[in-house]
Amino acid sequence: MSISPPTLADVFAAQRTISPYLRPTPLHHYPQLDQALGATVYVKHENYQPIGAFKVRGGINFMAHLAPEERARGVVTASTGNHGQSIAYAAQLFGVRAVIVVPEGANRVKVEAMRAYGAEIVFAGADFEASKRHGRDLERTQGLRFISSGDEPSLIAGVGTHTLEILEAEPKIDVIIVPVGGGSGAAGAALVAKSINPRIQVVAVQASGAPAGFLTWQAHAAKTAAIQTFAGGLATGEPFMLPQRMMWEYVDDFVLVSDEEMMQAVRMFLEKAKTLAEPAGAAPLAAARALGPRLAGKRVALILSGGNISPEELTLCLERTVS
């Protein structure tokens, strides 16, 4: 059965739901990024969230509307990190048992955070897709409520509130660039932007080493792809079709960036905006650099989706010279 996508009204309702728990994140303007990109650049600092990533918006909105019997059963999900942190954080707020299945090589910074928020961590599989299958197994064997990181309307409505905040602060934004892992953030951003002002251009960005979302968006049909990227937040090998259907309708362009380009963007954020981005969070800056003259003179919002980078990843990024 097809799942109905959220509406703009759902995003406004989500904003009311999460406001007692989360303050709006800053939208900062950085002249050094203006000079580098030839545009007026604003950064939406989702790396300033309590969990260091935008996903917490969806987690709280989801948990706030979870039926009492499902709260009593507990929840299980699969994650490479930020989605799992959001569910762990929200479950702790609402007193719900949370089991998070992560790949064997998951970012230890994110895993430690999930555990600190009270979640039970299960390591299973070499990648996200394998972890997701194990999560479904736990749903069947333990009676937990499985939470898809992409195909949940309340998650999409929750994360879409970041774009409401962008347009409340800067209504004249011309372009919004947003990263795609599972696609909830991009779907929410595109829904809000196009519903409020259809002239806003929404650009999605994904790792060239894990292009399932891009290929699915391009073909308007489900496509899978190998996962060969170090950007954990973008390491998705199979598409989530609810956010994809929304992106087919609302997203104007889709860009692929390499790990090398994301590494340079992490360093560029650190040098020119004095802020820490994880590779997925830096992907919009990498995409903006790749788009180059197409952004000239425009007012551009980059959604810095998260800052949960490990010391090892940061060391790799700092070795790169920004050209």
Burial-class residue 195 by CB neighbours within 10 Å (0-12, 13-18, 19+). middle
Q: Specify the pairing of strand 40-45 against strand 27-29.
A: antiparallel
Q: What is the CA radius of gyration of the chain?
A: 18
Give the torsion sign (CA, 87, 93, 99, 103): positive
User: Among residues 155, 158, 154, 170, which one has the least CA distance to residue 26?
Assistant: 170
Q: Are 248 and 220 in contact, with CB atoms under 8 Å apart? A: yes
Burial-class residue 35 by CB neighbours within 10 Å (0-12, 13-18, 19+). exposed
Tokens 């595109």 belong to residue: 190
DSSP run (H or E) holding 73: helix 68-73
Q: Are 223 and 215 in contact, with CB atoms under 8 Å apart? A: yes
Distance CA 12, CA 297 (A): 31
What does the block give as tokens for 24? 């709006």
Q: Are 153 and 14 in contact, with CB atoms under 8 Å apart? A: no
Q: Are 240 and 183 in contact, with CB atoms under 8 Å apart? A: yes
User: Among residues 191, 205, 193, 184, which one has the least CA distance to residue 87?
Assistant: 184
Residues with catalytic roles? 55, 305
